[in-house]
Amino acid sequence: MSEQTPLSLPGAQTTELPDLALHLLPQGTGEVAVVELALPQKRNAMSEEMTDSWARVVRQLAEHRALRAVVVTGRGSAFCAGGQLDWIVAEPDASATDLRERMARFYATWLSLGQLEVPTIAAVNGHAIGAGLAVALACDLRVVSSQATLAMPFTHLGLHPGMASTWLLPQAVGLPVARDLLLTGRRVKGHEAVGLGLASRVAEPGDVLPEALDMARAVASTAPQAERLTTVALRDGGHRSLADALQWEALAQGVTLTTADLAEGIAAAAERRAPEFTGR
């Protein structure tokens, strides 16, 4: 398959945007979205066009009531090589204030994925470097190729880490490992990435997206309200304290105790059949 070839997902409704594609897959009574970073000739580095397309897609998905999960992957052999630095060379006289405002908008756009109240899954099919790895870490779940290279070599470029890397990386792997990866910029492969906590599953290169889609289907088979509330509970590192967790769970479990889906789940378990959840 050519590096330029878009994903072929049977039954999907596909929308091609500049440097990005959105695929909507029917799944039960809902849909799973696959967001494909589509600039393979630059290893899916974040262009201005891709960033604008990403913002548009996230806004669209936020309004999609039937959405159950989102999978993010890259076209070709890379996941995402991070931000494109061409504009830094093109604007050598830009002030620190201007650059700060520009970077803040850039970060906010890409990390807006975390505002979706459904599980997000990174299918890391290849290299995930710098801000590209940060976007993967911003997802709730990650499947990584055994051959993928993951790294945050910001300081090797003379650059401070960005895209919330100094928050997202310690949340995933703890401070000691985060210091190792950020201060040395060292690269890790798929199996080590799972061992460190950068991902929860590893797959062979051709199996990364299928594995991520299996995860998405598993998500889509659960009760929608319970799934969304659990997703929100675990975002941003989970609760700050045991007391916070108990307060949230008493409220959220109380909400789900009133749903028709709970009755259906209990009945299905008793009858040893798959539940048919409706989101009510």
Three-class secondary structure assignment of 98-120: HHHHHHHHHHHHHHHHHHCCCCE
pLDDT band at 27 (very low <50, low <70, confident <90, very high): confident
CA 154, CA 103: separation in Å to the nearest integer?
15
* pLDDT value for 88: 66
Whether residue 90 has pLDDT greater than 80: no
Do strands 127-129 and 78-80 pair parallel, antiparallel, or not at all (unpaired)? Answer: parallel
> Burial, 135: exposed, middle or buried (Cβ in 10 Å; 0-12, 13-18, 19+)?
buried
Residue ranges of E strands in 137-277: 141-145, 149-151, 188-189, 201-203
* pLDDT value for 2: 55
CA 74, CA 123: separation in Å to the nearest integer?
8
Q: Average of pLDDT values for 180-186?
A: 98
- Nearest Cα to 129, choosing from 171, 88, 188, 184? 188
* pLDDT value for 244: 93
Can you say whether residue 44 is alpha, beta or left, with left for phi > 0 and alpha for psi between -120 and 50 degrees?
left
Superfamily of domain 13-220: 2-enoyl-CoA Hydratase; Chain A, domain 1 (3.90.226.10)
Mean pLDDT over the full length of the chain: 94
Q: Average of pLDDT values for 180-200?
A: 97
Kindly report the number of other CB atoms within 10 A of residue 1's CB atom.
9
Q: Average of pLDDT values for 156-168?
A: 96
* pLDDT value for 30: 86
Are 22 and 57 contacting, i.e. CB atoms less than 8 angstroms apart? Answer: yes
Whether residue 38 has pLDDT greater than 60: yes
Query: In Å, how far from its chain's centre is CA 148?
Result: 16
Helix axes 131-138, 165-173, angle to 10 degrees: 60
Residues sharing a CB contact under 8 Å with residue 228, sequence separation 6 or more, in sequence order: 117, 118
Residue type at 88? I
Whether residue 29 has pLDDT greater than 80: no
Whether residue 72 has pLDDT greater than 80: yes
* pLDDT value for 106: 96
Q: Average of pLDDT values for 58-82?
A: 97
- Which has the minimum average pLDDT: 121-130, 158-167, 234-243? 234-243
Q: Average of pLDDT values for 112-118?
A: 96
* pLDDT value for 251: 94
* pLDDT value for 237: 80
CA 192, CA 194: separation in Å to the nearest integer?
5
CA 191, CA 145: separation in Å to the nearest integer?
8
| SS3 at position 170 | helix
| Residue given tokens 């990650």 in the structure block | 142
**Model confidence pTM above 0.85:** yes
* pLDDT value for 31: 94
Helix axes 242-257, 224-234, angle to 10 degrees: 170
Token pair in block for residue 41: 């000739």
Q: Average of pLDDT values for 9-18?
A: 95
pLDDT band at 3 (very low <50, low <70, confident <90, very high): low
| Residue given tokens 């002030």 in the structure block | 95
Q: Average of pLDDT values for 217-238?
A: 92
Portion of the chain with pLDDT greater than 70, in percent? 98
| Residue given tokens 């299928």 in the structure block | 210
Whether residue 39 has pLDDT greater than 60: yes
Whether residue 115 has pLDDT greater than 70: yes
Q: Average of pLDDT values for 267-280?
A: 93
